[in-house]
Structure 1
């Protein structure tokens, strides 16, 4: 099951902007690139005095996994499914307005869901993207 549409980072230019300007946090199996959306992403222009009424843009997430991780699409897709499942569990705790790219490293082939969940949570805490706790 995929992430909901508002939470997907889809366009190449958005991925590129996060890669170029975002902060980086590393773990043994994953790398997180994070960029707060208010810095580089265009907002709809509102009349003066209405900026407080602007709705919060939900955080958007993209997953990048290369052929270096595995030549087999079945393995790469399994890893993406596990990461998306872990992200769905963490999604309610994410601060709004962030653009995130999760990059999978080749060592991740041997990981299971709980290890991905633990590493993602730690990466998001280090980047100060998670609310509370």
Structure 2
């Protein structure tokens, strides 16, 4: 199951705007780019390059794990943010728990995470 529809970032224009104007936070396997959107609910998009893996099966597995981590953390993320999660090369070896911990750490670092 993916993210709820109102929390999905889908348009390429949104991704482009966030990449060009957003603030970046980098971890081992993930990087997040955030852009405040005060009047909107928090929306999350995932970007994964073929450089991470040439195999779509592997890329899709990584995206599923990250989406699950996002679903878990979504209630604790402050509303009003557009977030792009960029998957880095090291993500190939990571399990769900690592994505969850790293995503939480990056969101705390970005000061958009409640409950810390």
* TM-score over 0.5 (shorter chain): yes
Deviation at 1:57, TM superposition (A): 2.4
Q: State the SS of the aligned residue for 2:15.
A: helix
- Is residue 2:43 matched to residue 1:69? no
- Deviation readout 1:78-102 (Å, 9 max, x if unpaired): 0000000001000000100100000
**1:110 has 2:93 as partner:** yes
Deviation for aligned residue 1:132: 2.8
Aligned length: 116
Q: Aligned partners of 1:128 and 1:26: how far apart in 2?
A: 14
Secondary structure in 2 matching 1:34:
strand
Residue 10 (structure 1) shift: 0.7
User: How many angstroms apart in 2 are the aligned matches of 1:78 and 1:127?
Assistant: 26
Is there any run of 5+ residues in structure 1 with no aligned partner, and where?
Answer: 39-55
Distance 1:7 1:122 in 2: 20
CA distance in 1, matches of 2:109, 2:13: 25
Q: CA deviation at 1:3?
A: 0.5
Helix, strand or coil: the match of 1:25? Answer: strand
Residue 58 (structure 1) shift: 1.4
Provide Cα deviations, 1:19-46, integer angstroms capped at 9, x if missing partner.
11110000011100001013xxxxxxxx
Matched, 1:19 2:19: yes
Supply the RMSD in Å over aligned alpha carbons: 0.9
Unaligned runs of 5+ in 2: none
Asked whether 1:127 is paired with 2:110, we answer yes
Higher gyration radius (CA): 1
